[in-house]
Chain A
Amino acid sequence: MENDKRVYVTPGDVITTGPYRADQNVICQNNKIISTVVGISEIYDNNVKVIPLSGIYMPKVNDLIIGKVISHISLSWELDINSCYSGFLPAHDVFGRDFSAHSDELSSRLNIGDLVTAKIANFDKNRDPLITIADRDLGKINSGELVEISPSKVPRLIGKRGTMIQTIESATHASIIIGQNGWLIVSCKNQKLLSKTIDAIKMIETQSHVADLTDKVKSKLESDVGE
């Protein structure tokens, strides 16, 4: 990693003192920048942030996520989005504006247990996150394998400018949809490649703090696929 100011921190650790701006997962107290989570601290142009190594997914507007339908009431679906809040998908988002509760049956489009790729349309502290699937490439997922990883490891899985995920995809010819909530959909040509891909993903999850991980994944995949 090119930035040598990366340090492992635990909650309460003083990362630095001085006129820095507190970014993610840090608090500023008496001119000291203190970490609030276990993670890797980073200092860049007067900002200090900590990349967390654990924690749940917090919805953010415009995040691409993968959700699972857990129930439907008369005018909306409820989605499990692997967060402390459940997603709210209104029926008119799927059926269009002329949705009528009398003529349209919700279960004709999405059933309980179905997976969808979706986007967070709106989220504030008073209401559950509003989900939309009215966009290109969003909607019900028909094939693929659901893989769950820790949401805090998602940026590592994607890598810098997508290098990590490209490495996996080119080595196994897999197509991977990454939800920011830590759920992924992996589709492969055959079972063997699928298990290799999942192994690589799990390896990134467990060794996310290791440097040069992209190279390690690459060599692992090359030896695996070569067999």
Chain B
Amino acid sequence: MKTDMQLLNNDGIRCDGRKIDELRKITIKAGILKNANGSAYIEFGNNKILVGVFGPRDVHPKHLSDTNTGILRCRYHMSPFSVTERKNPAPSRREIEISKVIKEALQPSVILKKFPRTVVDVFVEVLQADGGSRCAALNAASIALADAGIPMKDMVSACAAGKIADTIVLDVNNEEDQAGQADMPVGYMPNLDKITLLQLDGILTTQEYEKCIDVAIQGCKIVYEIQKKALIDKFFKCDIK
């Protein structure tokens, strides 16, 4: 079936009314779960994601523990009601992959040397999914880790860039992801200027790829400011009159 929907019109406006370099609306709240050591809730466009962090705590099963350093574990899970058709709650291939990439994207930032024989568990629960949920999850996970007081070299901010209608755009949503030509999520440590996550689904030329990275990093820097504000709101809100 062919739709009449245009991904990008002649004025440079996308299907959801954004400009090509505009992010979706982002709101983040830190520290909203009482029973977890650290937590965060993010709304990234239509994504609604809750993250809880436990630890450092005892490792179970014991054989996974490392006497030299703490370890990081991550579980990304989509609720059965997060998508239009009921999703089977058992971990799918995609969820296992995203758990792994989020873990690897957070690993360079956390400093677990001080906590030998322990584990830091990150639980990501997607309540409502839209395009770019791994980026949104990574943003929230990073806040939740900071909220839990886990030492980190830098925050990890993430944002996707992609190619739709032969144009490089920032922050690809679900429709653009389905019908577009490329989608590239980027995780980035803004102060250290280092990339911790880079995936690419689609085909880009070298020039397009470079532009895509630049655009995504600009997006990450905007996200970083919102993350920082969320932490300041939680910890110092009595001072902000």
Q: Does B166 contact A (CB under 8 A)?
A: no
Contacting pair B151 A10 (CB below 8 A): no
Q: Does B107 contact A (CB under 8 A)?
A: no
Contacting pair A12 B111 (CB below 8 A): no
Contacting pair B118 A14 (CB below 8 A): no
> What chain A residues lie within 8 Å of B239 (beta carbons)?
209-210
Q: Does A42 contact B (CB under 8 A)?
A: no
Interface residues in B159-214 by Cβ distance below 8 A to A read: 189-192
Q: Does B228 contact A (CB under 8 A)?
A: yes
A6 and B229 alpha carbons, distance in the complex (Å): 18
Interface residues in B45-64 by Cβ distance below 8 A to A read: 55-58
Q: Does A27 contact B (CB under 8 A)?
A: yes
Q: Does A122 contact B (CB under 8 A)?
A: no
A56 and B114 alpha carbons, distance in the complex (Å): 12
Contacting pair B37 A34 (CB below 8 A): no
Q: Does B154 contact A (CB under 8 A)?
A: yes
Count contacts on A: residues with CB < 8 A to the other chain.
28
Partner-contacting stretch, out of A47-55, A66-74, A109-117, A180-188: A47-55
Across the two chains, which residue of chain A brings its CB closest to B151?
A36
Contacting pair B192 A12 (CB below 8 A): yes
Contacting pair A38 B149 (CB below 8 A): yes
Q: Does B67 contact A (CB under 8 A)?
A: yes
Q: Does B146 contact A (CB under 8 A)?
A: yes
> What chain A residues lie within 8 Å of B192 (beta carbons)?
12, 29
> What chain A residues lie within 8 Å of B1 (beta carbons)?
none
Count contacts on B: residues with CB < 8 A to the other chain.
36
Q: Within the complex, which residue of A8, A12, A14, A36 is in contact with B235, where a contact is CB–CB below 8 Å?
A: A8
Contacting pair B232 A8 (CB below 8 A): yes
Q: Does A11 contact B (CB under 8 A)?
A: yes
Q: A36-B111, A36-B151, A207-B238 are in contact. Are A56 and B37 (CB under 8 A)?
A: yes
Q: A8-B236, A10-B228, A14-B191 are in contact. Are A38 and B67 (CB under 8 A)?
A: no
Q: A38-B235, A84-B115, A209-B239 are in contact. Are A12 and B152 (CB under 8 A)?
A: yes
A125 and B66 alpha carbons, distance in the complex (Å): 10
Q: Does A197 contact B (CB under 8 A)?
A: no
> What chain A residues lie within 8 Å of B130 (beta carbons)?
none
Contacting pair A37 B153 (CB below 8 A): no
- Binary interface profile of A, 194-227, with partner B (CB < 8 Å = 1, else 0)? 0000000000000101100000000000000000
Q: Which 8 A-B pairs have the closest CB atoms?
A: A55-B149, A12-B154, A54-B149, A36-B151, A11-B152, A125-B116, A84-B56, A12-B191
> What chain A residues lie within 8 Å of B117 (beta carbons)?
85, 125
Across the two chains, which residue of chain B brings its CB closest to A86?
B58
Across the two chains, which residue of chain B brings its CB closest to A210?
B238
Contacting pair A11 B154 (CB below 8 A): yes
Q: Does A58 contact B (CB under 8 A)?
A: yes
A103 and B205 alpha carbons, distance in the complex (Å): 80
A11 and B118 alpha carbons, distance in the complex (Å): 21
Contacting pair B238 A34 (CB below 8 A): no
Q: Does B131 contact A (CB under 8 A)?
A: no
